[in-house]
Structure 1
């Protein structure tokens, strides 16, 4: 969560022969606003046609000379991630961070992501909510082969539509997202009706997710052993000949899979092979990879508007409630609402994004948390989890004098 500039390394340049070749091969803040602005009652954003989902540009176009291309390097490796002091897990991290770095680009510009996999497992990146060409959608063995050990895959697409989106691995999603393979993708519109209606200088992105630490550690350990075996097989042409659909669980088509089962292949979901598989039992609930009290605060001043982008990156719905304020729900899944909705609790479902505007109307230090009681615990202990604070920088000047207390047990 940050109001700082994009932390990921980026190179912006005009189309080059390298980008053109790739395209051809695939076929295709300073001050808060005034109190008057913060108290404004909105009417309508009037910034879009709610019936129109046609991309502004055909997704299968390729960059033309002179068009801006923003290039990002994303490297996947295994790291140790600390959720709260004393709780660490092994994680798959993009550029060493959990979640991955926020990517922010102007609407309709081109994006080129050099995705390098430094692990021995197969991975991809899916650009959630983005109108990409089919080959760039990041579905393993659906739109592309999984990116293998020490391989680099180049994702090239135009940044559309505008709004709050995110990216994540689409291979073994249940484990890989818990293990950190997700991040925010913000596409900035050329004209933002929300900012016109609610002038703001600061904004925050909150990726909401959860993790079963026991499951992740167990499966990561099992995966590391399998990765060692795969590495040995990759180094041995003789062993490579033994790799087949039965071993990998990959089949050319549905008929090949059905025939293999008839011939004795035991699918991984069969109890005779894997026993009874237990669903995740989530025990830590996170905002940007951290649980309370290690979550970052939202800072605000009296009379200021701030924009908060909520990303449902995990598997559970969360119900984010703000104390002492109502806020405006202004955008859903990247699209501005025709009429903002006044709320104090907003549901954020898996795979969705919701943008809200908080207005600085009640100085103090206010809780902002998931109103599902389970999600405000750390391994069953309250308080913890998906909880942070809205903190006024000018609280004392407005007569509020509350001591800072960090509570980890009730």
Structure 2
């Protein structure tokens, strides 16, 4: 099967992307000399030193979707120290890097930030094994929304269950609340969550009917002092005085968010029904705005909103740990339209604008344009 491109979900195949854009192999040097406004540059001394101190840590990959049903209801999660390149290029205030994260990986998959998207079906139980045999510090896993047994809640101070280095522990997680949920480490949460130990947990209701295009998006702001401190750099993090300086969509900062394979563009075709499952894994509220499309919020924190209570809107505010599912029809003039946090200082890389917590709704019909090719250069797409 051809590799799919776009945000995690039901994007188009890489073959169709290359055919639609004509960019296969045409941008071999993209990202090295991508243009940018010299008046909007950012001091990259921190990012440069971060990349020089990465050592032998692996780099993260984009989050994968793990269909737990197809694995007999079982999945193993482990945490891997890694380097995270939120935007590795030099355009638009880059590079933006987190020199150390604690990335979740599922089974034998690649480590990612956010962690793998765990997908199951209503009525199924998941056996989630947290494998900390090669770990360096204690961890747990807490799953939001679902009704589980007390000892499976993932909070060490109230359950007495903590997974220390060298140990494994299996949680039984019932899929009894359909919707889009959050999972994360609940040991020393202010640090472990900010080191990247979070992901989306999706429970499809029985008889679920997917949209034409369906994507998963997680948003997060970071105080990179913590990541630099954990990498042994000269930085001191204070969780009581948090100062976010990195803003991401599925772990990437714009323009890397628009990269078809490493980022999360929302790729659509004219007339598609589009469904976005969104999570805020940060500590701040993020009002997400989609240009030129009116949508309805259909689900909130796993609860379905009755049709009579829905309305058309173009900004959806998501609180910390909040989840929203929105639906719209791709009925605009085929083009490229931004989706971004409307706290506009979150749409920056340092002092460079635009950047940060921004991606785009990209119509397949617009991929042959010069502006799309330029955006791919900014994003560092090499074809």
Q: How high is the TM-score relative to the length of structure 2?
A: 0.72
Give the Cα separation in 2 of the matches to 1:299 and 1:396: 10
Give the Cα separation in 2 of the matches to 1:347 and 1:353: 10
Q: Report deviation, 1:402.
A: 4.4
Structure 2 matches for 1:139-158, cutoff 5 A? 139-158=155-174
Give the Cα separation in 2 of the matches to 1:157 and 1:388: 32
SS at match of 1:405: helix
Residues 209 and 286, structure 1, Cα contact 8 Å, conserved in 2: yes
Q: Report deviation, 1:219.
A: 4.4
The RMSD of aligned alpha carbons is 2.5
Number of the residue aligned with 2:153 = 137
Per-residue Cα deviation, 1:312-371 (whole angstroms, up to 9, x for no partner): 111011011011111111110111110222110000110110000121111211000001
Number of the residue aligned with 2:324 = 354
| CA pair 303-91 structure 1, distance change in 2 beyond 3 A | same
Residues 175 and 216, structure 1, Cα contact 8 Å, conserved in 2: no
Number of the residue aligned with 1:333 = 301
1:287 aligns to 2:303 (yes or no):
no
Relative contact order (alpha carbons < 8 A, sep ≥ 6): 1 or 2 greater? 2
Work out which of the residue numbers 284, 289, 301 in structure 1 matches 2:269: 301
Greater Rg over alpha carbons, structure: 1
1:84 aligns to 2:111 (yes or no):
no
Give the Cα separation in 2 of the matches to 1:158 and 1:364: 42
- Which structure 1 segments of 5+ residues have no match? 14-68, 223-273
Residues 8 and 65, structure 2, Cα contact 8 Å, conserved in 1: no
| CA pair 361-89 structure 1, distance change in 2 beyond 3 A | same
Give the Cα separation in 2 of the matches to 1:281 and 1:380: 15
| CA pair 166-276 structure 1, distance change in 2 beyond 3 A | closer
Per-residue Cα deviation, 1:284-320 (whole angstroms, up to 9, x for no partner): 1111111101112001111111100110111011011
Number of the residue aligned with 1:121 = 137
- Which structure 2 segments of 5+ residues have no match? 1-6, 12-63, 89-94, 106-110, 258-263
Per-residue Cα deviation, 1:101-134 (whole angstroms, up to 9, x for no partner): 0000010101001111132211100001221111
Residues 65 and 119, structure 2, Cα contact 8 Å, conserved in 1: no
Give the Cα separation in 1 of the matches to 2:241 and 2:181: 27
Q: How high is the TM-score relative to the length of structure 1?
A: 0.67
Q: Report deviation, 1:278.
A: 4.8
Number of the residue aligned with 2:125 = 110
Residues 92 and 180, structure 1, Cα contact 8 Å, conserved in 2: yes
SS at match of 1:124: coil
Give the Cα separation in 2 of the matches to 1:167 and 1:326: 29
Number of the residue aligned with 1:247 = none
Give the Cα separation in 1 of the matches to 2:367 and 2:224: 40
SS at match of 1:343: coil
Number of the residue aligned with 2:349 = 378
Give the Cα separation in 2 of the matches to 1:361 and 1:167: 34
Work out which of the residue numbers 276, 282, 287 in structure 2 matches 1:314: 282
Give the Cα separation in 1 of the matches to 2:371 and 2:256: 19
1:344 aligns to 2:300 (yes or no):
no
Structure 2 matches for 1:92-107, cutoff 5 A? 92-95=102-105, 96-107=111-122
